[in-house]
Chain A
Amino acid sequence: MPEPTRLLSADDVRRALTRIAHEICEHHSGVSNLVLIGIQTRGVPLAESISEAIADIEHEKVFVGSLDIGLYRDDLASRPTPRLGRTLMPVDLNGRNVVLVDDVLFTGRTIRAALDALSDLGRPAAVELAVLVDRGHRQLPIRADYVGKNLPTSIDQRVTVRVEAIDGENGVWVGS
């Protein structure tokens, strides 16, 4: 198997997240009603990073939550011994503007599950989606509001996102 190709460096990732932070700030006049919710597992540190970037811009902390969608997946039976991550909501979601954060947007099924999970947790005013990488091949009518990098891939390619807090480094790789 050939070595995966590194498509985004640590700097690229940092710049992409900063840009997303700026776009979120532009889109929302004021961030006090905002909650960033990272999808377990790599969406959570990404949401933390975006929150820090927003704090640099707006001088205001944004709430960050974590959402595990293991209980909402539609492929439970085909996965051996599913693991569950924590679901932690720092605030009541009712009436909030929520930005879901994930590493890769692919078929859209994860996001569909995340929306279901979110609706069991409360009734936000609006929900948006931020992803580090959009690799295409959607199977559901879902699109991201904030995209770090669009990466055209073939469906059988493997996209790997590594983040500092979990993997010890930041970057995006594509392998076959």
Chain B
Amino acid sequence: MKHLLSISDLDRAEIEDLLTLAAEFSSVLERDIPKVPTLRGRTIATVFFEASTRTRLSFERAAKALSADVMSFAPGTSSVTKGESLKDTVLTLEATGADLFVVRHESVGAAARVAGWVNGPVINGGDGAHQHPTQALLDALTLRQRFGKLDGLKVGIVGDIANSRVARSNIDAFTKLGAQVELIAPSPLLPVDLSAFPVTVSGSLEDSLPHLDVVYLLRVQIERGSGPILPSLAEYGLRFGMNRQRLQMLPADAVVMHPGPINRGVEITADVADDPRSLVLDQVQNGVSTRMAVIFRLLGAS
């Protein structure tokens, strides 16, 4: 593995190797000294052209737990607002000493493009509506911790599938690990052509709930790119939001997930978010150990 750009670059064995490694790093994070000297002297650059404090902090925490140094690059704090290009930015960071790049960008394929420009490994921290592979890995780890394995799990992914990189990478990761995925969304929020996706589709959350092991709620944005995609957030919440009443419709041991940050009261009501069946905080914790595993794999094998 030279880069981590898309879940499609990984086979089942490689995903499982990363999850096993991530579980090992989870135990490192539980120690009194949650830090190992593995990557002392190495520098990781986080290049976030699209604001995301949560994901950036998670990567930086992972890097620091491995004793790597971190260079953080984000618009607003840098010359990118003055029109510096992505290419110039990463070449400058590499010349400054970056060994690995975490790239988030609103454009599909941005991380892959960077991988063609720099010598070091690149982790895709999210590229447009395309891929967010570390999110998929941390979600798979969370499910593996809860259920032991993903084989045979029925996962419903709810929301704006069409514009979601989380959906695209999670569909690929979950199905590779043996789960069955159902997409639950109104048709304008589904990709136009689903022929390349190994999924079933449902237009009704309530119809799907009784046969799901996992309800995975995507974050909803009322506007993206060029104009509104939803009539209103309130209407969306009524049809596709997860509330106490709908939680009762799930099988007893089913769980609820969300990649965060949550629009409370839209995708998920506050009491559901805080319910023991919500794995939202496990997801956040596993984010750090999963990213440690990915960074370790990419920089450990140079």
Contact = CB atoms under 8 A, between A and B. Distances in A.
Interface of A: 68, 70-73, 76-77, 79-82, 84, 86-87, 116-117, 120-122
Contact of B300 (A72, A76, A120): A76
Interface stretch (B29-37, B47-55, B196-204, B230-238): B29-37
B38 A76 contact: yes
Most buried by B among A68, A70, A71, A120: A71
Contact of B302 (A72, A77, A120, A122): A77
Interface of B: 21, 24, 27-28, 31-33, 35-39, 66, 296-297, 299-302
B35 A120 contact: yes
B37 A116 contact: yes
B32 A122 contact: yes
Contact of B31 (A79, A116, A120): A120
A72 B27 contact: no
A84 B21 contact: yes
A86 B24 contact: yes
A81 B300 contact: yes
Contacts of A72: 36-38
A35 to B, nearest CB: 16
B35 A81 contact: no
18 contacts: A68-B24, A70-B38, A71-B28, A71-B36, A71-B38, A71-B66, A72-B36, A72-B37, A76-B38, A77-B302, A81-B297, A81-B301, A82-B296, A82-B301, A116-B37, A120-B35, A121-B31, A122-B32
A93 to B, nearest CB: 10
A87 to B, nearest CB: 7
Contacts of B66: 71
Nearest to B293: A84
A120 B24 contact: no
Given A71-B296, A82-B301, A86-B24, 13 more contacts: A71-B66, A72-B37, A72-B38, A76-B300, A77-B299, A77-B302, A79-B301, A80-B301, A116-B37, A120-B31, A120-B33, A121-B33, A122-B32
Nearest to A81: B301
A86 B21 CA distance: 10
B126 to A, nearest CB: 26
Contacts of B36: 71-72, 117, 120
Top 4 closest pairs, chain A to chain B, by CB: A71-B36, A71-B38, A120-B33, A81-B301
Nearest to B37: A72
B127 to A, nearest CB: 26
Contacts of B301: 79-82
B301 to A, nearest CB: 5
B99 to A, nearest CB: 10
B75 to A, nearest CB: 32
Nearest to A86: B24
Contacts of A86: 24
A56 B50 CA distance: 64
A82 B293 CA distance: 11
Given A71-B38, A81-B301, A87 B27 contact: yes
Contacts of A79: 300-301
B145 to A, nearest CB: 16
Contacts of B39: 76
Nearest to B40: A74
A117 B37 CA distance: 9
Contacts of A71: 28, 36-38, 66, 296
B295 to A, nearest CB: 12
Contacts of A120: 31, 33, 35-36
A84 B33 contact: no
A107 to B, nearest CB: 18
B35 to A, nearest CB: 7
A66 to B, nearest CB: 12
Contacts of B38: 70-73, 76
B189 to A, nearest CB: 40
A11 to B, nearest CB: 36
Nearest to A85: B24
Nearest to B24: A84
Contacts of A68: 24
A96 to B, nearest CB: 15
Contacts of B32: 121-122
A30 B136 CA distance: 51
A107 B31 CA distance: 29
